[in-house]
Every structure is written in structure tokens, then in C-alpha cells.
Amino acid sequence: MLYDIFIDPFVQMYQMPDFFLQVLWEGFVAGILYALIALGFVLIFKASGVFNFAQGIMVVFAGLTLVGLHENGVPAYLALILTIGVMGILAYSIERVVMRPLVNQPDIILLMATIGLTYFLIGFGEFIFGGEPKRMIADELGLPTGSTAFEFGERGLVILQHIDVAAAVIAIIMVATLGVFFNKTRIGRALRAVADDHQAALSVGISLNQIWAIVWFAAGLVALATGIMWGARSDVSFALEIIAFKALPVLILGGFTSIPGAIIGGLIIGFGEKIGELYWGGLVGGGIESWLAYIIALIFLLFRPQGLFGEKIIERV
């Protein structure tokens, strides 16, 4: 038993280096995609202190809007632009109808509002697009398909899916762009001010409503990118909503307010769950991936309760 836990997995890694590399690559891709989902949560939490329960359904809604428009004869790139517009309208509507009337309400009320928003979007989405899964228009958007296999040793093979490479590149570009936007632009600085203190931000003339609309729109764009990437890996269906909750351990690990935390957290969870499942999962019958991510996050929490990059809150009494 001790051999199976402490020795055998490492022997396997050494004996089948191509497979180990493949596991690392899959972990990296999964991690990047988890980070992308987590980013959507972080943006909204930073600006309003709300855990946006609706982030998952926003991923589905964005994906379905894109595919639905294309199915109705709209060219792929125009459908993409229109979908961005729809996410903008959605962000504005959420700010006007949901957020603004609930200003200064306790956080739990805002959380409940996002749960309500989730069920509204599920019903509205099914009403508009139907419940059937749809194929993501990856080809039409010019996203690469197919794969490249790299031979490794005598029998070894590392297979890279082109769509996974594209997902990683797009996620990195999005994260970098958002990072620059929030650190280097006037709106970004305003957002950070709002995140630090609503009252103080208001007192210096920052429009809370405008910031919230921008943040929800940014989260909508992240949702669209996530919907395209995850949709291309399987299909666009309401089952994708659940995928968003893969971001929960990432948030616990990286902290709810940190963009770098979301990225590093995503990668740790991505690598951790793949390596754990592939090399240790068999010891308990497999299928450990879904809860292993939480175990990894909880272990980190033992040492850093605020998450890797979360703000350390010290309250003096």
C-alpha cells in the first residue's frame, strides 16, 4: 500500500514520460480554463463584494447566443460582435434592474439576487434557444481544429489539440488585457477604488452604477470566451453551467479578489486534479477529480486562510 502511494506513481512518471507530459499539458489547459471562469467571479466580487452565482449560466447564455445567431443566418464574426452587444445589454440590465435597487443591502441579499438571476437566465435561455445542445461554431470563427502529435521516445506520443492551444493563448491574452485595463486605465483605477471602499469612491465622484455595468460587461466577455472554449471541447448546453463551479476551489485557493490569484489558483487546481486523478485516483477506484480540487484548496487554506493572494483582513477590537 505504501509502495502504491509513495513509490509507484513516481515510477510510472519516470517510465512513461510522454504520458506524464500529456497529463501536465491537460492539467495546464484545464487550469487555464478554470482560471478564465474564476476571473469572471473575481471581477464582480472585487467591484461589489457579490459572489456571482449566475456566472455559470452567463457562460451558457453567451455561448447559446453566439451559436443561436449563427444558426439564424448571421455570419460567425457578426454573430460574435452581436453577442458582445447582447452581453453589454445584459450587463446594463442587471445593473439597472438587479444591482441598483439593492445598493447597501447585505451581501447575502445580493447573492440571493444572483441566484434568482441564474434561474431567470436558465428559463429565458431555454425559451429563446430551446434545451437542445448546440455545436460550437469553432470552425466558422477560425479557431483551429485537429491535433498535432509529437513522438516521444520509441512508443511515446504527446498529442496537442489545436483548440486547446488556442484556448490557452486566448485565455492568456484575455487575462493580460484585463490586467492592463484594471491597472493602467482610468476606469480600472476607479474600479479598484470602488473595490477598496464604496463610500470613499462615491465621495470623489466615481459613478458606482457605471463601474458595476462595466464590470458585469467584462464578466460577460469572460463568460463568452469561456463558453466558446468549453463549448468547442464538448458542446454548448445547459450542462455547461455546472462547469462554472469548478472555479470554486480556484477561488478558495487564489482568493476572491485577486486576478493573479485566479490564474495561479486555476493552474494549481488544474495540474493537481489531473495528476491526482491519473496517478493516485486508481487507489480508491477513480473519479476523485471532482472532490480532490477542494482538498487541495483546503490544504492551502490551512496555511493561508485568505487564499494565496487574498487580502488579509485584520480587525482590531
Partner 1 sequence: MKHVKNLALSTAVALGVAFSGVLSEAAKAEDSNYVPLLTYRTGPFAGSGIHIANGMADYLHMLNERDGGIGGVRLEIEECETGYNAQKGVECYEATKGKGALVYNPYSTGITLQLIPKASVDKIPVLSMGYGLSAAAVGETFPWVFNVPDTYWDGASVVIKYIGEQEGGRENLKGKKIGYIFLDAGYGREPIPLLEQLAEKYGFELLQYPVPGKEMQNQSSQWLNVRRDRPDYMVMWGWGAMNPTAIKEAVKIRFPMDKFIGVWWSAGEDDAAAGGAAAAGYKAMNFSGVGMDFPALQDIKKYVVDTGKVPTDPESMGGTLYNRGVLNSVIIAEGIRTAQELTGKKVITGADMRMGLESLDLTEERLAELGLSGFAHPMKVTCDDHAGSHPVFIQEWDGEKFVKVTDWIEPMRDVVRPLLEAAAADYAEKNAPWPARTEPCPN
* Closest approach of partner 1 to the CB of residue 160, in Å: 10
User: Considering the complex, what minimum distance in angstroms separates the CB of residue 140 from partner 1?
Assistant: 14
| Residue whose cell numbers read 484575455 | 174
Close Cβ partners of 232 (under 8 Å, ≥ 6 residues apart)? 136, 138, 143, 163, 167
Binding residue for partner 1, selected from 103, 209, 234, 305, defined by CB under 8 A: 234
Q: What SS3 string covers 197-246?
A: CHHHHHHCCCCHHHHHHHHHHHHHHHHHHHHHHHHHHCCECCCHHHHHHH
Out of 45, 182, 216, 230, point to the residue binding partner 1 (CB under 8 A). 230
Q: Which amino acid is at 184?
A: K
Rounded CA separation 262/39 (Å): 6
Residue 142 interacts with partner 1 (CB under 8 A)?
A: no
Which is closer to partner 1, CB of 143 or CB of 211? 143
| 70 contacts partner 1 (rule: CB under 8 A) | no
Q: List, in sequence order, every residue forming a beta bridge with 134; answer none if it has no partner.
A: 236
Considering the complex, what minimum distance in angstroms separates the CB of residue 245 from partner 1? 8
- Binding partner 1 (rule: CB under 8 A), the pick from 8, 71, 140, 235 is 235
Asked if 9 and 281 count as a contact pair (C-beta separation under 8 A), the reply is: no
What is the C-alpha separation between 210 and 249, in angstroms, rounded? 30
Q: Which residue in 2, 4, 94 sits closest to 57, CA to CA?
A: 94
**Between 93 and 132, how does the x/- string for binding to partner 1 read (CB under 8 A)?**
-----------------------------x---x---xxx
Nearer residue to partner 1 within complex by CB, 133 or 188: 133
Interface residue with partner 1 among 178, 195, 255, 273 (CB under 8 A) is: 273
Residue 237 CB coordination number (10 Å): 15
Q: How far is the CB of 302 from partner 1 (least distance, A)?
A: 25
Asked whether position 71 contacts partner 1 by CB under 8 A, the answer is no
Q: Cβ–Cβ contacts within 10 Å for residue 305, how many?
A: 10
Burial (Cβ within 10 Å: 0-12, 13-18, ≥19) of residue 28: middle
* Least separation in angstroms between CB 43 and partner 1: 23
The closest of 299, 294, 305 to 246, measured between CA atoms, is 294
Q: Residue 133 interacts with partner 1 (CB under 8 A)?
A: yes
Output the smallest distance, CB 282 to partner 1, in A.
8
Nearer to partner 1, 166 or 259 (CB): 166
Distance of alpha carbon 136 from alpha carbon 140, whole angstroms:
9
- Does 135 interact with partner 1 (rule: CB under 8 A)? yes
Q: How far is the CB of 240 from partner 1 (least distance, A)?
A: 6
Binding site for partner 1 (CB under 8 A): 16, 19, 22-23, 26, 29-30, 122, 126, 130-133, 135, 145, 147, 149, 159, 161, 230, 233-235, 237-240, 242-243, 245-246, 273-274, 277-278, 281-282, 285-287, 289-290
